[in-house]
């Protein structure tokens, strides 16, 4: 039987395990210190624990659940990893380096059940949810690489985080918990394609996490061309849920808008987007679309700038996100698609 990742265990279970092994309660703090402050990847390294305890931990648990299969670094210091999970599946994690802050972009699922037509992650549908420990270990890997704690976390890698919500919450509690990684809640951004029950559940937790909605289109009809029906909610319900999130947490929502030439980049789109953002008091993040399929291309740079200017002139708060790490295929799901396991799967992309 495969060993359990120790980070998947609720604190009470680990405490009970320590008791059953005749260990004092302070060992929990020591173990956490190794896992979350020193980013240990095995129990043998935990020098201040008795040898017998290190052996018992090794017999029962895994300290770290990822094995790097590929590491790519771009000129701008973006690092992208393809990690192998214990069961042989693979996920992607990206570290985006800037002089003043280190951001890690993490995955929450292997594949994605939503299957947006412009996204590489959803091509094969959902393979499986990530466990809390597998989500946290992506952050640990980035900390180990930097030899410092990361500053920001964006949940924008593979998968729809709000369709693996319980594991996401457990992982974020470890990432934010002062006794674990201790990253400030305001430094976490969760991006969703618009899963209404998930947005409402998150709102009611009243954490200070930042919510980003992948809007990309301004009518249900236009969105219907990008997102298959199964997990697509009516825009009005999504916007209501975002308003509720704002009310419950006090935090401004971000609207992600991937510009697609001839798809959502018209003057009317700019007008609609600015109006919607103003109504919601949201800020807009424009992203030139990554061309993962021949059907979607980013508009020319001049047009991207013109769209940005138009939205701004209409009174909305807007930023243009530079495409970092394009050369290393940093768009989510692109790297994993090149692995042998993924190549064996039939291409199932099918807009509904
Ligand atoms: N499933 C979540 C989070 C992961 S995707 C979501 O959809 O929000 C992270 C971001 O990448 C989303 O805003 C998504 O719309 C965007 N994205 C996916 N494929 C893209 C592409 N080809 N070009 C630009 N952005 C893309
Ligand atoms: Fe899934 Fe997000 Fe990609 Fe859509 S854009 S398929 S929701 S990862």
Taking the C-alpha atoms of residue 212 and residue 24, their distance in angstroms, rounded to an integer, is: 43
Catalytic residue at 92?
yes
Q: Rounded to whole angstroms, how far apart are CA atoms 142 and 289?
A: 26
Q: 213 CA distance to ligand 2 centroid (A)? A: 11
Closest Cα to atom 5 of ligand 1: 156
Residue closest by Cα to atom 15 of ligand 1: 214
Residue whose Cα lies nearest atom 3 of ligand 2: it is: 119
CA 215 to CA 328: how far, in whole Å? 25
Determine if ligand 1 sits within 6 Å of the CB of residue 332: yes
Report CA(158)–ligand 1 centroid distance (Å): 8
**Nearest-CA residue for atom 18 of ligand 1:** 119
Domain range 4-62, its CATH number among 1.10.150.530, 3.40.47.10, 3.30.565.10, 1.20.930.40? 1.10.150.530
Buried/exposed 172-208: b ≥16 CB within 10 Å, e otherwise: bbbbbeeebbebeeebbbbbbbbbbebbbebbeeebe
Residue ranges around ligand 2 (CB below 6 Å) = 112, 114-116, 119, 121-122, 159-160, 193, 214, 332
Indicate whether residue 92 lines ligand 1 (CB < 6 A).
Answer: no
What's residue 351's pLDDT? 34
Place of tokens 């998150």: 202
Residue 306: name the closest of 266, 257, 279, 260 by CA. 266
pLDDT at 66: 98
Q: Which residues fall within 8 angstroms of residue 247, CB to CB, at 6 or more apart?
A: 203
Which two three-digit tokens encode residue 167? 């594991």
Which residue among the candidates 89, 92, 131, 160 is catalytic per the annotation? Answer: 92
Confidence at residue 345, expressed as pLDDT on a 0 to 100 scale: 45
Give the residue extent of every domain in the chain. Answer: 4-62, 67-344
Summarised one tens digit per residue, pLDDT across range 147-195 is 999 999 999 999 999 999 999 999 999 999 999 999 999 999 999 999 9
311/293 Cα distance (integer angstroms): 27
pTM: 0.93
Instruction: Choose, from 116, 119, 176, 332, the residue flagged as catalytic.
Output: 332
Q: Which of 181, 318, 345, 328 is nearest to 257 (CA)?
A: 318
CATH number belonging to domain 67-344: 3.20.20.70
- Closest atom of ligand 2 to CA, residue 109: 8
Separation of CA 201 and ligand 2 centre (Å) = 20
pLDDT tens string, the chain, 352 residues long: the values are 579 999 999 999 999 999 999 999 999 999 999 999 999 999 999 999 999 999 999 999 999 999 999 999 987 789 999 999 999 999 999 999 999 999 999 999 999 999 999 999 999 999 999 999 999 999 999 999 999 999 999 999 999 999 999 999 999 999 999 999 999 999 999 999 999 999 999 999 999 999 999 999 999 999 999 999 999 999 999 999 999 999 999 999 999 999 999 999 999 999 999 999 999 999 999 999 998 888 899 999 999 999 999 999 999 999 998 765 454 445 555 556 555 444 444 443 333 2
Q: For residue 76, what pLDDT is reported? A: 72
**333 C-alpha to ligand 1 centroid (Å):** 10
CA of 191, nearest ligand number: 1
């Amino acid at each position: 039987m495969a060993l359990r990742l120790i980070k998947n265990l609720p604190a009470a279970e680990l405490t009970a395990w320590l008791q059953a092994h005749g260990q004092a309660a302070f060992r929990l703090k020591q173990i956490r210190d190794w896992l979350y402050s020193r980013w240990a990847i095995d129990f043998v390294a935990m020098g201040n624990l008795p040898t017998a305890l290190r052996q018992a931990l090794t017999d029962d648990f895994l300290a770290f659940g990822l094995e790097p299969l590929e590491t790519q670094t771009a000129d701008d210091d973006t690092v992208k990893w393809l990690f192998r999970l214990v069961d042989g599946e693979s996920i992607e994690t990206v570290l985006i380096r800037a002089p003043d802050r280190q951001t890690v972009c993490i995955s929450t699922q292997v594949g994605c059940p939503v299957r947006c037509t412009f996204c590489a992650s959803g091509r094969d549908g959902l393979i499986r949810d990530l466990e809390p420990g597998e989500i946290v270990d992506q952050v640990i890997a980035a900390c180990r690489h930097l030899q410092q704690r990361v500053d920001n976390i964006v949940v924008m890698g593979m998968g729809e985080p709000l369709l693996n919500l319980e594991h996401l919450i457990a992982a974020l509690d470890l990432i934010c918990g002062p006794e674990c990684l201790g990253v400030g809640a305001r430094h976490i951004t969760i991006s969703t394609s618009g899963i209404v029950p998930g947005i409402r559940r998150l709102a009611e937790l009243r954490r200070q996490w930042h919510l980003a909605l992948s809007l990309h289109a301004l009518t249900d009809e236009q969105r219907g061309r990008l997102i298959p029906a199964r997990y697509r909610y009516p825009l009005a319900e999504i916007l209501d849920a975002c308003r509720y999130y704002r009310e419950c947490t006090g935090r401004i929502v971000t609207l992600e808008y991937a510009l697609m030439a001839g798809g959502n980049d018209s003057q009317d789109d700019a007008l609609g987007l600015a109006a919607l953002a103003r109504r919601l008091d949201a800020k807009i993040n424009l992203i030139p679309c990554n061309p993962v399929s021949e059907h979607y291309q980013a508009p020319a740079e001049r047009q991207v700038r013109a769209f940005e200017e138009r939205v701004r002139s209409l009174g909305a708060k807007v930023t243009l996100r530079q495409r970092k790490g394009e050369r290393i295929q940093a768009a989510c799901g692109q790297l994993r698609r090149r692995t042998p396991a993924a190549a064996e799967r039939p291409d199932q992309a099918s807009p509904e």
